[in-house]
Amino acid sequence: MACGSCGTTENGVPKGCKSNGNCGSGTCGSGSNKLAVFDWLSNMTLPSGQERFNIFEVRFKNGRKHFFTNPDNLPITMGDIVAVEGAPGHDIGTVSLAGELVKVQMKKRKITADHEDVKKIYRIASQRDIDIWQQARGKEEETQRKGREILGRLGLQMKLSDVEYQGDGNKATFYYTADTRVDFRQLIRDLASAFSIRVEMKQVGARQEAARLGGVGSCGRELCCSTWLTDFRKVTTSAARYQQLSLNPLKLAGQCGKLKCCLNFELDTYLDALKSFPKQDVVLKTEKGDAVFVKMDIFKNHLWYTYKEERFKWFRLTLEQVLEIVDLNKNNEKSISLEEYEADVEIPVKVDFEDAVGQDSLTRFDVPKTSNRKKNNRNRNKKKPVAVASNNRSKPAAKAIPGQKAKPNPNQKRKPQIKKQPNTNPNQKPKPRPNPNQKPNQKVKDDVAQKPKPRPRPKPRPKAQGDVNKPEGEVKKVNKPRRNNRNRKNNNPKNDDSSEKK
């Protein structure tokens, strides 16, 4: 059951709960937590002559709560375990709320003091009552397992989600979910004969089932329905549309398979922000053509439009620019093209994450590490043939037998043979290659003219005092100046008179 503020308007726009998940209208029932409630009126004394409210709120398994009266005026406080009236027998529960706050909860649920659901508190539970209650609670898991076996044998299209024993152990309530109506009369007979107890079947929805089982949501927190949310308001896809969310059932659905209840929590903020935005079906008329709406960013006040004829290009506009174009269109005037408007839009610079503390990257373990052993093995295999070749070279060559030719090595590469001309003068350098464009007479003259002069010999260094004791036969090495290798090609070789004679 939902309150009036959680419904929709005449135009189909959802109103939301107006209190971000905590209903303040007094009818949703979500004002009280499922578990223990903090009694902020416990330290306050009642006015003189006023008696304490004699109805208590008692909590049972999985957050089930009911109101019970205390006709015998027992000294009961929050947290006490009491034995209350059952149907039939008695049940054991924990007092979750007492005092004047119980009036507020009863008013929210529209329950009066003389309501038939308000039953009696028999006594404060004794140790024997608690032991029987704990033994009955211990049977629930095994009863649920056997109940599912019986259910599968009968072939009924229903799911047994939970079993709850009464405090005296004489009755068990089986909670189930089913898409269609199920005839479970035979199931009740089989369960009663198998466990020798009174059986009560109670159908719950998918949301109630998730609330009873509990779990962790996609946000990383415990489910709202299993912690504090007691009322399950209707959630529609229009709530997702107004928040500009993609209608992906895998992301919008919770563990119960229905739309997430938290879609209603922020809906009010989005609806307030959308009041200043134009409708999405408004067509902008420009000099270049008509433009239609594509998407929007509500909190940055940015909208994207595209031309009807050229839909491959989207243009980012601000809310002020769009409202300006809409006002011009109302006066039957066309605005300038969207390209000129987009040029005036200032896009904020995105601030990247800076590692100021020196923390390691969270994705440092995602990339697999490559071991260097394989690389070392490959390098060793490559070096092996080189080492063998060097060993072969180091071996002494076999002595040649006179009158017998040496066998050629097939693995050895043959070097190109160059015919050498006999050189009579050992100090003579090789002749330069002849130039076909040069005349023979001119060659001889140029060679003689360009003959380089011999270098002067370096003068002997005078002996220093430290060299007096050195023997005369010892010659000291002189560092010769290095030649420039780059100028070798430019230097012409020396030719003797023999070349001129030729």
First to last CA, the chain: 125
pTM for the complete prediction? Answer: 0.55
Helix (H) or strand (E) holding 201: strand 198-203
Q: Token digits for 391? A: 């060993």
Q: Domains of the chain: which residue ranges?
A: 17-125, 135-213, 278-343
Q: How far is CA 80 from the centre of its chain?
A: 45
Q: Contact 318/305 with Cβ under 8 angstroms? A: no
Burial of 315 (0-12, 13-18, 19+ CB in 10 A): buried
CATH fold, domain 135-213, is GMP Synthetase; Chain A, domain 3 (3.30.300)
- Give pLDDT tens digits along the chain (502 positions): 344 445 556 565 555 554 444 443 333 333 334 555 777 777 778 787 788 889 999 999 877 889 999 998 899 988 899 999 988 889 999 998 888 889 988 998 889 988 888 999 999 999 999 999 999 999 999 999 999 999 999 999 999 999 999 999 999 999 999 988 889 899 999 999 999 999 999 999 889 888 888 889 988 998 988 888 877 888 999 999 999 888 888 899 998 889 999 999 999 999 999 999 999 899 999 999 899 999 999 988 999 999 988 888 899 999 999 999 999 999 999 999 899 888 888 877 777 666 666 666 677 777 777 766 766 666 666 655 544 444 444 444 445 455 555 566 656 656 555 555 555 555 655 555 656 565 555 444 444 445 555 666 666 665 555 444 544 444 555 555 555 555 555 555 555 444 444 4
Q: Contact 227/34 with Cβ under 8 angstroms? A: yes
